[in-house]
Structure 1
Amino acid sequence: MSLPPPAGPGPKYAAAESEILDRRHGPYGEVALRRQGGRLQIIANGCFLMDTSDGRSERLLVRAARTELLRVGPPARAPRLLIGGLGVGFSLIEAAAEPSWGRISVVEREEAVIDWHRSGPLGSLSARALADPRTELLHADLLDQLRGRARPLPDGGYDALCLDIDNGPDWTVTEGNDALYSPAGLAACAAALAPGGVLAVWSARPSPNFEEAMRNSGFSGVRTEEVAVVRGVPDAVHLAVKPA
C-alpha cells in the first residue's frame, strides 16, 4: 500500500478520468475498485489505499523477509510464508516468483478484493501467482488466522509473516486494523512464527515508535528498510526476528 502523491506525478495523472468499476458495502465499511488512467486503485471508506502504479515497497516486503530468513538461518524444509493482505497482489506475485518458498498463504478479509483477483480486473496481474500450487488464499481476518481461528496454523508455525494491512502502524483508515499493531497483535504474530522466524511489516512511513514496540514484544534484530517515493516521506518495511 502507499499514499498517493498530493497531485500525482504530473499533469496527466491529475487530468486522468476516473471510473468506479465496483463498489461493495461490507462489515468493515465501503471498499471500491477504481480505474484512473492506466491504474487500478483500491479505495476503502473513501480513502485511497493502494494502486497498481509501482509496487516496489510491497515487493520489498517479501524480498527483505526472505533475505533476513537466510541471514538468520532458513529451516531445513521449504519455508512457509503468510502474507497479510492481498491488496493489488504485488507481495503475492513477488513470493510466487521465488521458487524457494514452500506454502504461500495469503489472508484477505475483504471478499470484494478476492473477487477482483479471481474474476475481475486485478486478475490480469495475479492470475499466475494465484494458480501456483503453493498458493493458498484465505478469506479471513488476519488476527483470526494468526490465532488459528480461521484455519489451523502449520505445525511449528510460519517461517515468515509479511503484513501489509491498511497504511501501517501509524495511520489506519479502517476501524479495528490498529489492533494488529498493538502489543496484543504483535504477541499474536510472535506466537504464529516459528523460532527464528521473520516478521516484516509494511508502513506508509518509517515508525520509530513501532520499532520500539517490536523490541518490547520480544523481537530481536529490529531494523527498517526504506523505499523513496515521488513525493513525501518514504515507504518503509520494518523487520524483526523471533528469537530461536
Structure 2
Amino acid sequence: MLPWIQLDSATIPGDGGELRLKQRGQEFSIMLGANELMNSRLSGSEEALATLAQEKLRGRTAPTMLIGGLGMGFTLRAALSVLPSNARVTVAELVPTVIAWARGPMAGVFQGCLDDPRVEIHEGDVAGLIRSVNNRFDAILLDVDNGPDGLTRPSNDRLYDAVGLRASRDALRPGGVLAVWSSGPDPRFTRRLKDAGFTAEVVNMRANGKRGGARHVIWLAVKAE
C-alpha cells in the first residue's frame, strides 16, 4: 500500500490548531491532530447536506445559500448540481490555505466548481458573517466541525449555542433551512434547535451514501414562515 505523504499544513486563525493535508495516490485527507476531518473517498453525507437542504427549498426562485466550510468541496459541488442557474452560493472559509489547496493540489477533486459564476468565496469566519446579516439566506449549511461543538476551534461553539442558533434563524428568510452536519447524534442539539424557533428533523446518513460507511447525522431545521 502506498504511504501517506504530507503535502502542506495550515494554522487555523484564532484559537484553532493545525490542519494537515495528506495524499496517498489519488486519495486526499485533511487532518486536525489525530482526527481525520475529511477524506476524498468519503463524500456521501457531505453531498446529502446540500441535496436535502435544497429539497426544502423547492419552488423558490433565485435561492441564496451560505455554506460554512469549503473542505474538499463536496457540499458545494452537490449544491451546484441541484440549484438553478440564477442561484447564489456563498462559501465561508476561515483558513486561506484551504482555498489554495482547492485551486492547487486538490484541483482535480474540486473539478472547477470554484469558477462557477454562482459561487462567491468569503474568506473569513462564518459565524461573523451570519451575525452581520438579516433575512438574507434561504439556506445555511454548516460543516465546519465534526458536529455541533467547536472541534476545529473552541470559539465555533458560538455557532451551536442558543445565541448562535438565533443568529442563524435571523439570517434566514422565512421558511429558510439551517442544515448541520455531524459525525454522530446529539439530542441536546435537537432540543436547542427547537428552543431557537426551528422545526427540527434529524436524518441519519452513511458516510459514503448508498455504498455504506460510518453513520453520520444531518439536522434540517426550518424557520417558521
- Same fold by TM (over 0.5)? yes
User: Residue 117 of structure 1 contacts residue 127 of structure 1 at CA under 8 Å; is this kept in 2?
Assistant: no
Does 1:104 pair with 2:89?
Answer: yes
Deviation at 1:147, TM superposition (A): 1.3
Counterpart of 1:12 in structure 2 is: none
1:168 paired residue number: 147
Report how far residue 58 of structure 1 moved.
0.4
TM-score (norm 2): 0.90
Distance 1:231 1:131, change over 3 A: closer
- The corresponding residue for 1:24 is 10
Q: Unmatched 5+ residue regions in structure 1?
A: 1-14
1-side partners of 2:27 and 2:220: how far apart? 29
Alignment check: 8 A CA contact 1:61 1:162 kept: yes
- Looking at structure 2, the residues matched to 218 and 55 of structure 1 have their Cα atoms a distance apart, in angstroms, of 30
1:103 and 1:142 mapped to 2: Cα distance? Answer: 16
Aligned partners of 2:153 and 2:34: how far apart in 1? 10
Shift in Å at residue 184 of structure 1? 1.3
Residue 142 of structure 1: how far off its partner (Å) = 0.7
Hey, what does 2:56 align to over in structure 1? 68
163-172 or 53-62, which deviates more: 163-172
- Aligned partner of 1:51 in structure 2 is 39
* CA distance, structure 1, for counterparts of residue 220 and residue 148 of structure 2: 13
Displacement, 1:38?
Answer: 3.0
Q: Is 1:114 the counterpart of 2:115 in the alignment?
A: no
Cα deviation, residue 240, structure 1: 1.0
Report SS of the residue matched to 1:167.
coil
Q: 1:179 aligns to what?
A: 158
CA distance in 2 between partners of 1:213 and 1:181 (Å): 8
Q: Aligned equivalents of 2:121 and 2:161: distance in 1?
A: 25
Give the TM-score normalised by the residue count of structure 1. 0.83
Moved more, 187-196 or 97-106: 97-106
Q: How many angstroms does 1:83 deviate by?
A: 0.5
Asked if 1:142 corresponds to 2:126, the answer is yes
Give distance in 2, aligned partners of 1:36 and 1:218: 45
C-alpha contact 1:45 1:174 (8 A) present in aligned 2 = no
The one-letter amino acid paired with 1:52 is S
1:238 to 2:219 alignment: yes
CA–CA separation in structure 1 for the residues paired with 2:145 and 2:66: 16
What is the CA-CA distance between 1:97 and the residue it aligns to? 1.6
Query: Could you list the runs of 5+ residues in structure 2 that have no partner in the other structure?
Result: none
CA distance in 1, matches of 2:127, 2:194: 20
Match status 1:93 vs 2:72? no
State whether residues 30 and 46 of structure 1, in contact with CA within 8 Å, keep that contact through their aligned partners in structure 2.
no
The structure-2 alpha-carbon separation of the partners of 1:239 and 1:42, relative to structure 1 and needing over 3 Å to count, comes to: same
Q: Is the 8 A contact 2:150 2:156 kept in 1?
A: no
Asked if the contact 2:54–2:79 (Cα under 8 Å) also holds between the matched residues in 1, the reply is no
